[in-house]
Amino acid sequence: MSLTIKKEHVPMQKDTDGVVRVGETRVTLDTVIAVFKEGATPEEIVYRYPSLRLPDVYAVISYYLHHSQEVEVYLSQRNLESNQIRVQNQARFDSTGIRERLLARQAKTG
C-alpha cells in the first residue's frame, strides 16, 4: 500500500466585503488566529466556535504558520479598517447621555 500525497484545499473564503471566513461558517480568520495566538488549541477553538470543523481549524492554522507574514498584513489591514469604522461611527452617533435617554425611554414604556 502506498500513500498518495495530494494538495489540500485551504478552507477559507472571502465574502463580499473582503472578510476571510473559515470553512462554510461566519467565523473570521481574524477570530481563529487571535484565539490561537492566545494559546488555544484547535480543539479549544472548535469548542468555542462549534460551527467550525476541527480539520478546517488545523488547516487554517497550518496556512497561518506557513504564510504568517501575509496573514499578519491582512490582519493589520482589517484592524486599521475596523478602527476607521469605529471612529466614523462615533462621529456619526453621539453617545453622550445615551444611558439617560435609554432609561427615560424604558420608563415611558415600562
- Each residue's pLDDT expressed in tens, for the chain with a length of 110 residues: 899 988 888 999 999 999 999 999 999 999 999 999 999 999 999 999 999 999 999 999 999 999 999 999 999 999 999 899 888 888 888 777 888 888 888 888 86
Name residue 64's amino acid: Y
Structural contact between residues 20 and 56, judged by C-beta atoms closer than 8 angstroms:
no
Complete domains list, the chain, with CATH = 12-94 (1.10.10.10)
What pLDDT score does 87 carry? 86
